[in-house]
Amino acid sequence: MTRPAPARPQTVRVNGINVSYTDAGSGPLVVMVMGTGSPGRVWHAHQQPALLKAGYRVVTFDNRGIAPSSECAEGFSLADMVADTAALIEHLGGPARVVGTSLGARIAQELALARPDLVTAAVMLATYGRPTPMLEAFSAGERELFDKNIILPDSYHAALTAHMNLSPHTLADDRSARDWLDIIGFSGQTRAPGVRAQLALHDREQNRLSAYRDIAAPCLVVGFADDRTLPAYLAKEVSEAIPDAEYREVARAGHYGYIEQPDEVNSLILEFLSRHR
């Protein structure tokens, strides 16, 4: 089957900022929210094509902080990002099924809580509902590296990124490990001020688990068994807090589990969404 041509990026002014997005396909609307420092096109490798093939209209976008959306280097809050997503869904004629990963999953949770009228169902990958000492320490270190303009050697940065975000099963295969190190190394080290503003969000996080008891939308929470960045138990806590939530865990997958194990992740998303069309 021929893969459909990728949609051209569009820009819309919503919630006081410019948001760059792609809109492809037809059918029930799915809006996909990416994590810290990453553009929306990351979804285009695996999840967007699977959803298009299944008959959904799929919108991916660059969160504020990620050019060509407004970088907002002066700083912003998680509530701002939630409001951005809400305004985009309204512009698209929502409501929508919302899929997010990492920070994007946190946005999906808060959106389902704040604007239940806009969220038909939600899928949260590699998520969390509270800060932990390890998360706080790692986030503080990332901000300090940025503020002191410390650029790690490319090979070390690639190795550290791979170690934190990929499963040991992936890295145990030498060819796979080399391929991932090359991909990460080629991607470079992002120093954009908008990304620094996204990193600042992690300095103000609160325990939101009790608030999530008021989420009414059906939710699928997916943990990745080998996730070192956001361990799977944090995702399970979110699923236990949301009344109408299901929890699934993907084996042999790290924080980038949606890229490492795309077939299984796509199957979970599609099966869940098929029950909430």
What pLDDT score does 76 carry? 95
What pLDDT score does 80 carry? 97
State how far the Cα of 206 lies from the Cα of 195, in Å rounded to an integer: 20
Pairing assessment for the beta strands 96-101 and 17-24 based on DSSP bridges: unpaired
Going by the DSSP 8-state scheme, the letter that residue 130 receives in this structure is S
Q: With a cut of 50, which residues of the chain have pLDDT below it?
A: 1-5
pLDDT tens per residue, range 223-265: 999 999 999 999 999 999 999 999 999 999 999 999 999 999 9
> Is the four-CA dihedral 183, 198, 68, 10 of positive or negative sign?
positive
Asked about 46 being catalytic, the answer comes back as no
Other C-beta atoms closer than 10 Å to the C-beta of 171 total 18
By the 8 A CB rule, do 160 and 168 touch? no
In the chain, the DSSP E strands lie at 10-14, 17-24, 29-33, 57-61, 96-101, 119-125, 219-224, 245-250
Q: What are the strands of the beta sheet with 119-125, ordered from one edge?
A: 10-14, 17-24, 57-61, 29-33, 96-101, 119-125, 219-224, 245-250
Distances (CA, A) of 150 to 71, 140, 165, 183, 192: 21, 14, 21, 21, 14
By the 8 A CB rule, do 7 and 170 touch? no
Other C-beta atoms closer than 10 Å to the C-beta of 247 total 18
Catalytic residue among 84, 167, 227, 239: 227
What pLDDT score does 6 carry? 56
Instruction: Please give the CATH number for the structural domain made up of 10-132+206-274.
Output: 3.40.50.1820
Catalytic residue among 38, 102, 139, 167: 102
CA 83 to chain centre: 16
Asked about 102 being catalytic, the answer comes back as yes
What pLDDT score does 1 carry? 37
Other C-beta atoms closer than 10 Å to the C-beta of 189 total 14
What pLDDT score does 189 carry? 78
pTM of the model: 0.94
| Crossing angle of helices 103-114 and 78-92, rounded to 10° | 70
Hey, where are the domains in the chain?
A: 10-132+206-274
